[in-house]
Amino acid sequence: MVAAGWLAKLAAVRFLDGRPPVELLGGTLRLTLVENPGAFLGLGRSLPEAARRAILVVGIGAVLLGALAWLMAARSLRPAKTLAAVLMIGGGLSNLLDRLPDGRVTDYVVLSAGPLRTGVFNLADAAILAGAIVWMGSSMRREPSADPSSGA
C-alpha cells in the first residue's frame, strides 16, 4: 500500500502540476493537484505549524507504530480484519511519509455524483476508508457458534 500510494503521488505531481483539473467519466472523476496541510478533508489546517506537526507527524506516527505492533502480535484475527488493518495502517503510513518533508500531503482525486462532490483525497485516504469499511462490515457479521446444539 505504501509503494502504491507513493507511485500514485508521483504520477499526480508529474501529470497534474501546473495544469488545470482533468475531468473523466463525464466529470464523475476529477484529477487535480492539491497540497493539503491538514488531515482528512483539511481538518486542522488552520492550526499553528508546530501543533500540526506534533499531531499529524508525531501523534499519528505513534498511533501507527502501536497499530502495527498490535497487528503483528494479533494471533487470531479473521482475514477480513487483517486486511482492514493492513489497509488502514498502510494508508496512514503512506500519508505520514508524504507529510514528513514539508508538512503537507498530496491529494489529487475528487469524485462527483450529480451535485454531490467529495473533498480532494488520495489513494492512501481511499485505502484508509476502505479498511474502515471492511473492518465495520466484518464486525457486523455474526460469529458461528462453537456449539452447534446451542441453537444460537
The answer to whether residue 13 scores a pLDDT higher than 80 is yes
Establish whether 107 is a catalytic residue.
yes
The answer to whether residue 145 scores a pLDDT higher than 90 is no
Query: What value does the mean pLDDT take over residues 101-125?
Result: 93
Query: Does the residue 67 lie in any domain?
Result: yes
Spatial separation of the C-alpha atoms in residues 21 and 18, rounded to whole Å: 9
Q: The domain containing residue 50 runs over which residues?
A: 2-139
Query: Does the residue 149 lie in any domain?
Result: no
Query: Does the residue 152 lie in any domain?
Result: no
> Which is catalytic among the residues 98, 102, 125, 147?
125
Query: What value does the mean pLDDT take over residues 30-58?
Result: 90
The total domain count for the chain is: 1
User: In the chain, how many H helices and how many E strands?
Assistant: 5, 4
Query: Does the residue 150 lie in any domain?
Result: no
In the chain, what percentage of residues exceed pLDDT 70?
A: 93
> Which is catalytic among the residues 17, 98, 102, 107?
107
Spatial separation of the C-alpha atoms in residues 89 and 96, rounded to whole Å: 10
pLDDT of residue 152: 47
pLDDT of residue 80: 94
Establish whether 17 is a catalytic residue.
no
Query: Does the residue 61 lie in any domain?
Result: yes
Between the CA of residue 57 and those of 45, 61, 85, 135, 138, what are the distances in Å? 13, 6, 19, 24, 29
The answer to whether residue 150 scores a pLDDT higher than 60 is no
pLDDT of residue 57: 94
pLDDT of residue 21: 95
Helix (H) or strand (E) holding 75: none
